Amino acid sequence: MEILFISHKFPPAVGGMEKQSFELIDGMKRFTNVHSIVYTGQQSRIAFFLSLEKRIQDLCSEYPSISVIHFNDALIATFCLHHKSYAHLYRSVTVHGLDVVFPSTIYQKYILPKFNRFDLIIAVSHATKQACVQRGIGVRKVVVISNGVDHTLLQHRPDSNFHQLFRTKYGIDLSGKTILTTLGRPVKRKGFSWFLQYVLPELEGNLILLMAGPFNKSRTWQDRFYHFLPPIFRTKIELFTGYPADENKIRILLNTKKYSQNVLHLGKLPFEELIQILLATDGFIMPNIAVEGDMEGFGLVCLEASLCGSWVFAADTDGITDAITDQKNGTLIRTGSTSDWTAVLNNFIENPDVIKKQLESAKSYTQNTFSWEKMVSSYWSQFKLLVQTGQKVKTSDTNR
């Protein structure tokens, strides 16, 4: 059995899906012969998609031992739904969250139900699986395999000069402060502006919130353009492109006086500097909120923060609950509840030693529960089971 992987999310592009795609394809080489067709940016994306069927057909002809074709997200799987030249082979797809719940009537009504044509669907979390089943995909067809996390993060050590370097660069002394940190693109589901507006003003004690991730200090022309689009179109475009729709609200809040003393947005940081921030962090904050038509498929950044020694405070929503187990490697807090978030964080700020005693066990739990090796091994087991049991969708079914 040989496997052909198809992905348009792959290095040198940077992101969670690109990392997962690389680790899956590279790691599978330990088990079997692997072939891949991936988008690396050397041609236009349109040309890449339009040439897929012929490239897949040619590879399968050249390597007749290929028996499984795996599409690594729902978008590329959607584009290949109507390919017929390799319908006799087993076909599987990974779904990540947003690619299931994207708010398009056409996509939800006419495309997603046709995912029953695939022989196997791998969801990155139980929340993603539930979203699939709710949209008419057969429950027996969907399995859950969690993403992994990079264990090399465990090798990093705090820089003894970090506080001095931070003070020199940003003019802020972190000594004695409780350091809370957020990380990620300012999309609405991340809940960053919600946290700034409703929770942070209620927190007590000597604390600072460090925000890291892509961020424009001034409003961009793209944001002004999006603002004038009809909401029904704007929302879909923002979700499809991953546009930072929460950025302007965050920027407005940060420009008000009451946030100037205890919030600092660091923007996108070099990797080593980001790691030092996480190593110095007392509490990592992931305050996701419910956004119609969007979801957090897994919550990989929580695991990365955990391996760096941070205690994770995360909303109990979507796929985050697959990454964080309450009181094992973090604390799950009711999503959107200002009172719950305030109470939990104030208790943490006032009694930090209670959490500090659990940090090493939390790090070990994350390390022992999640790894790229475990993820790849689980994929391999599912591919073998698929071929061995012969659970192939009938050719006639692919025309539905």
pLDDT, tens only, 252-271:
999 998 898 899 999 999 99
Cα–Cα–Cα angle for 129, 7, 28, nearest 5°?
80
pTM (2 d.p.): 0.92
pLDDT > 70: percent of the chain: 97
pLDDT tens for each residue of 14-41: 677 888 999 999 999 999 999 999 988 8
Please tell me if the domain spanning 2-148+372-399 has the same topology as the one spanning 151-369. Answer: yes
pLDDT of residue 13: 61
| CATH of span 151-369 | 3.40.50.2000
Residue 327 has pLDDT above 50, yes or no: yes
Domain 2-148+372-399 has CATH 3.40.50.2000: yes
List the one residue out of 127, 34, 32 whose CA is nearest residue 72.
34
Which helix (DSSP H) or strand (DSSP E) does residue 92 occupy? strand 90-95
Sheet of 66-71, strand order:
34-38, 2-7, 66-71, 90-95, 120-123, 142-144
**pLDDT tier at 201 (50, 70, 90 boundaries)?**
very high
**The residue type at 309:** G
CB 193 within 8 A of CB 246: yes
pLDDT of residue 242: 84
pLDDT tens for each residue of 205-234: 999 999 999 999 998 888 888 888 888 888
Give the count of alpha carbons within 13 A of 325, CB side only: 10
Q: Report how far residue 241's alpha carbon sits from residue 221's, in angstroms, rounded to the nearest whole number.
A: 16
Q: Report how far residue 164's alpha carbon sits from residue 313's, in angstroms, rounded to the nearest whole number.
A: 27
Residue 187 has pLDDT above 50, yes or no: yes
**pLDDT tier at 12 (50, 70, 90 boundaries)?**
low
Domain boundaries, the chain: 2-148+372-399, 151-369
Residue whose pair of structure tokens reads 């050249």 in the numeric block: 62
For 310, the 3-state DSSP assignment is coil
Residues 6+ apart with CB under 8 A from 396: none
